[in-house]
Amino acid sequence: MQKAALTGERPSVNPLFVAKALTKELKKPDEFVSFWTQLGTKLAEHRKKVLAFAVLAALGFAVGWGVIAHRESQAAKATAAFARIERIASVDLLPEKADPKDPAAKAESDGVPRFKTEKERLEAALKEADAFVAAFGREGLGRKALLGKASRLLALGQYAEAASLYETLAASETDAELRAVEQEGIAAAAEGSNQLDEALRAYTALADMSQRTSGNFYLDRALFAKARILERQGKGKEAEPLLREILTKLPKTPLRQQIDDRLAILAEK
């Protein structure tokens, strides 16, 4: 060895020594067998479990995707059905003396039927709202459909039905502004059926709620309605301060012209 080192020659390698070394190393296969080979072995050992898991994962994905697709489809159908209610409620009435040759005399407008009277149109919108709720439920757009139904019942003079529906909606309402709309509907139904004391209590409740929870939203309408009821009861002197309260608290109210007119009439009495 020393001679080889001095002369620069490479030392000879003993083949027997190399064979023994390789044999010794091959007794530690983890250092030689690749990760993927080990993984393949494990998968082969648990093939049934792996296949079952893969099938379950595929089914879960398919079901989840199906649920999402179904919800999106239902949402699209609900939106279209809700829009149809509004289109029926606002479609132009047929002219009283319809000329068959006149395009305005058509019995349908963009797939929506047309009606001769406001009553017919309102009743058709009610039926459409009922069909919508039956198909899609009372939540989400269903609540809006019911709120629209209540207002149309009010317009048709069906005060008891309107009040009942408004009360049902108000009892579970989470939006302060919509609750104010529903409370006004309750009061208007009482007023329409000539239950003036009940209407006065309902408008008072609306005014209190508007100041307490919704930043004076609807306050002017509630106070103006209270003043109107008091006038109907022959209590004009009690109505006047309410009208002036509106102008003090809400000087930019859109009811200002009507309030000024009522104040002028009360001043003459």
Q: What tens-digit pLDDT sequence spans the chain (269 residues)? A: 444 444 444 444 455 554 555 455 545 555 545 555 665 566 566 666 656 666 566 656 555 555 566 556 668 888 999 999 999 999 988 887 765 555 655 666 678 888 899 999 999 999 999 999 999 999 999 999 999 999 999 999 999 999 999 999 999 999 988 999 999 999 999 999 999 999 999 999 999 999 887 678 889 999 999 999 999 999 999 999 999 999 999 999 999 999 999 999 998 87
Please state, in angstroms and rounded to a whole number, the distance separating the CA atoms of residues 122 and 155. 8
For residues 157 and 188, the answer to whether their CB atoms sit within 8 Å is no
**Residue 128 CB neighbours (<10 A):** 21
Q: Using the Cα atoms of residue 138, residue 141, residue 147 and residue 152 in order, give the sign of their dihedral.
A: negative
Q: What is the pTM of this model?
A: 0.70
Inter-CA distances, 205 with 37, 48, 158, 190, 201, Å:
77, 68, 22, 13, 6
Residue 163 in tokens: 């009040």
For residues 166 and 143, the answer to whether their CB atoms sit within 8 Å is no
Inter-CA distances, 111 with 73, 91, 107, 114, Å:
21, 11, 9, 9
